[in-house]
């Protein structure tokens, strides 16, 4: 597996990471623990060394799973986790009037200690603020993580779905190694201001949902529906009318894939990897054959002509539906 460095940090990781959330949270019931442990170790065997989790996934059970799976090979892997949600609430539900976020410095330090125990590690490689908490100055957040770094409990500081102004303010207190935000061929908003800011400051980008929460794989029908315990059932882009309209993007990927002898998922990931050398997508999966399909995208070369063709065609497609319900969308870009 090829390696990439996240911005100007010393954090070198596999060109493709593995998002672990869906193993325990959001996409239906938790998957079989033994099977997921086997999958996580299979990823390492195939060159993946960058694993993404969070305290809120479960909550807590995903960190425990990742910790158990990677304990025997800890020295070979980079583990990222996150703080910032009030874990007594479910971020997928309507929590109007309740404090969904908590990035107070004392809580950040409590979360770090708890995550270290659940992950069964001595130091967190990359510690993200999961969402920006406007009730807490970002300088205080960065300062708390700086203290954790000085104490040897954390190696690198990250942010998620933060605005350029917030990134700059945080970076001035404690250098930010990576920003994790949604970015894919069907969500390109980061290109306007986020990516130029990251490039200027030397910060890596870790795109989550690089396959559009499964939609860009081309495996969904326009009539596909989701169970109530699947987060996508609540997302505007996964309602029937939106899925029908947005099929045009999948058809574009299928066309390119057929020309390249690849799959739509591989084209979507290769497109992301071609944007910047410091971009490291973290597609999630619970299936070995999908993991192997995603990994193969690292070796899929898209020429300048291919990229221009994709961008030109994509620009003609008008995507339908917001990516999140209004309450959750309000937590992004702050």
Could you list the active site residues?
Answer: 57
Crossing angle, helix 240-260 and helix 264-275, to 10 degrees? 80
β-sheet bridge partners, residue 51: 18, 79
What DSSP assignment string belongs to 13-77? EESS-EE-GGGTSSBSSPPPHHHHHHHHHHHHHTT--EEE--TTTTTTHHHHHHHHHHGGGGGG-
**Per-residue buried b or exposed e for 128-165, using 16+ beta carbons within 10 Å of the residue's own CB:** bbbbbbeebebeebbbbbebbbeeebbbbbbbbbbbbe
**Angle at CA of residue 108, ends 326 and 128, nearest 5°:** 60
Give the C-alpha separation, 101 to 84, whole Å: 6
């Amino acid at each position: 597996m090829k390696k990439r460095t996240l911005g100007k940090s010393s954090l070198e990781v596999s060109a493709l990471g593995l998002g672990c959330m869906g193993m325990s949270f959001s996409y239906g019931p938790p998957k079989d623990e033994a099977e997921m442990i086997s999958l996580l170790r299979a990823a390492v065997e195939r060159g993946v060394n960058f694993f993404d989790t969070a305290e809120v996934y479960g909550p807590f059970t995903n960190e425990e799973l990742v910790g158990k799976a990677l304990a025997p090979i800890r020295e070979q892997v980079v583990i990222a986790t996150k703080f910032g949600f009030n874990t007594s609430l479910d971020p997928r539900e309507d929590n109007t009037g309740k404090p969904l976020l908590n990035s107070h410095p004392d809580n950040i330090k409590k979360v770090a200690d708890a995550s270290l125990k659940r992950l069964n590690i001595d130091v967190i490689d990359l510690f993200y603020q999961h969402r920006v908490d406007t009730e807490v100055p970002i300088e205080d957040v960065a300062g708390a993580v700086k203290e954790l770094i000085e104490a040897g409990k954390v190696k690198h500081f990250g942010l998620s779905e933060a605005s350029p102004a917030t990134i700059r303010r945080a970076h001035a207190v404690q250098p930010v190694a990576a920003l994790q935000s949604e970015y894919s061929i069907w969500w390109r908003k980061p290109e306007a201001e986020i990516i130029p800011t990251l490039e200027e400051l030397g910060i890596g980008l870790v795109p989550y949902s690089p396959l559009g929460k499964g939609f860009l794989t081309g495996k969904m029908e326009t009539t596909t529906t989701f169970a109530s315990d699947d987060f996508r059932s609540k997302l505007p882009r996964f309602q029937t009318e939106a899925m029908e309209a947005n099929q045009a993007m999948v058809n574009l990927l299928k066309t390119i894939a057929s020309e390249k002898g690849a799959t739509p998922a591989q084209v979507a990931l290769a497109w992301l990897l071609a944007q910047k050398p410091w971009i490291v997508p973290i597609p999630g999966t619970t299936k070995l054959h999908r993991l192997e399909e995603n990994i193969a995208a690292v070796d899929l070369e898209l020429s300048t002509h291919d990229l221009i063709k994709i961008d030109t065609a994509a620009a003609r497609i008008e995507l339908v539906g917001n990516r999140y319900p209004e309450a959750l969308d309000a937590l992004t870009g702050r």
